[in-house]
Amino acid sequence: MEDLLEIAGKKISNRLFIGTGKFASNAMMKKALEMAQAQVVTVALRRVDADSKTENIMDYIPKSCQVMINTSGARNADEAVRIGRLAVAAGAGNWIKIEVICDNKYLLPDNLETLKAVKILVKDGFVVFPYMSPDLSIARRMAEAGAAAVMPLGSPIGSNRGVKTRELIEIMIKEINLPIIVDAGLGKPSEACECMELGSAAVLVNTAIAVAEDPVKMAEAFSRAVYAGRLANLSGIPATKKIASASSPLTGFLKDKI
């Protein structure tokens, strides 16, 4: 039986979502998306220009991909809502990653302003994916407001520091009845695998792929790691123990021969 993630009626088999920023070229980005067989990609609205006489990033995104517009640059709920409405007007669809950041040093999301935007955009008919600092109470409010998923950060955007918020993400996975998609800070495929082993529904990666020496191979590596982590989670990972437990019997055979 195929393992699918269903969101807003769309069935997704590849649980690696990929961001489209920081690639050396749109052509390189397209190759990476194709190699990873990506099905969901995020795009900042400011990079979408249907009237451009040169390059339009949307021309390089495979037609099979679901585009999720990112409200990157929004400093409050009003700006995020405006970006979302502009995205629909530009024909970019109604899937939206809400990213509200007013902290210029660590680029941490403003959870309260994000929640405000969730409430408004859900009512407007958007499929809403809020990017947030892991917080159980806020995540619950986002779920109650109608978010399609919640996207807690693993560590600060572009830091490649891995899953520094692991314990908080584990709590959210156990307590929130929505897909948990870890977004931001994952630097290695093994870290994406770790998130999936915990029970995350998906992960979103951009920087670690885009700035790798070989983004295309790195995209493939992340895709395989996400699959491996998901398979491990579904298989039932054995509990850890504080003492040793032999893989083979230590008594009987040798004793009988002595």
Domain that holds residue 64: 5-257
User: pLDDT higher for 249 or 209?
Assistant: 209
User: What is the pLDDT, as a whole number, of residue 110?
Assistant: 95
Count of domains observed in the chain: 1
* Confidence (pLDDT) at 48: 60
Residue 45 is predicted with a pLDDT of 79
Residue 20 has pLDDT above 80, yes or no: yes
pLDDT at 241 over 90: no
What does the radius of gyration of the chain's CA atoms come to, in whole angstroms? 20
Residue 151 and residue 68: Cα distance in Å, rounded?
13
Q: pTM for the complete prediction?
A: 0.89
* Rounded Cα–Cα distance for residues 43 and 56 (Å): 12
At 238, the pLDDT band (50, 70, 90 cuts) reads: confident
Q: Which residue has the tokens 């918020």?
A: 165
Q: What is the mean pLDDT of the chain?
A: 90
Q: Measure the CA angle with vertex 100, ends 98 and 104; round to 5°.
A: 145
Confidence of residue 78 (pLDDT cuts 50, 70, 90): very high
Of the chain, the percentage scoring pLDDT greater than 90 comes to 74
Model pLDDT for residues 168-204, shown as the tens digit of each residue:
999 999 999 999 999 999 999 999 999 999 999 999 9
3-state secondary structure the chain: CCCCEEECCEEECCCEEEECCCCCCHHHHHHHHHHHCCCEEEEEHHHCCCCCCCCCHHHHCCCCCEEEEECCCECCHHHHHHHHHHHHHCCCCCEEEECEECCCCCCCECHHHHHHHHHHHHHCCCEEEEEECCCHHHHHHHHHHCCCCEEEECCCCCCCCCCCCHHHHHHHHHHCCCCEEEECCCCCHHHHHHHHHHCCCEEEECHHHHCCCCHHHHHHHHHHHHHHHHHHHHHCCCCCCCCCCCCCCCCCHHHHHC
From CA 172, how far away is CA 130, in angstroms rounded? 14
pLDDT: which is higher, 119 or 251: 119
| Stretch 238-254: mean pLDDT | 72
51 band by pLDDT with thresholds 50, 70 and 90: low
> Taking 90 as the threshold, does the pLDDT of residue 58 lie above it?
no
pLDDT of residue 93 exceeding 60, the answer is: yes
From 30, 31, 53, 97, the catalytic residue:
97
**Annotated catalytic, 97?**
yes
Return the CATH number at 74. Answer: 3.20.20.70
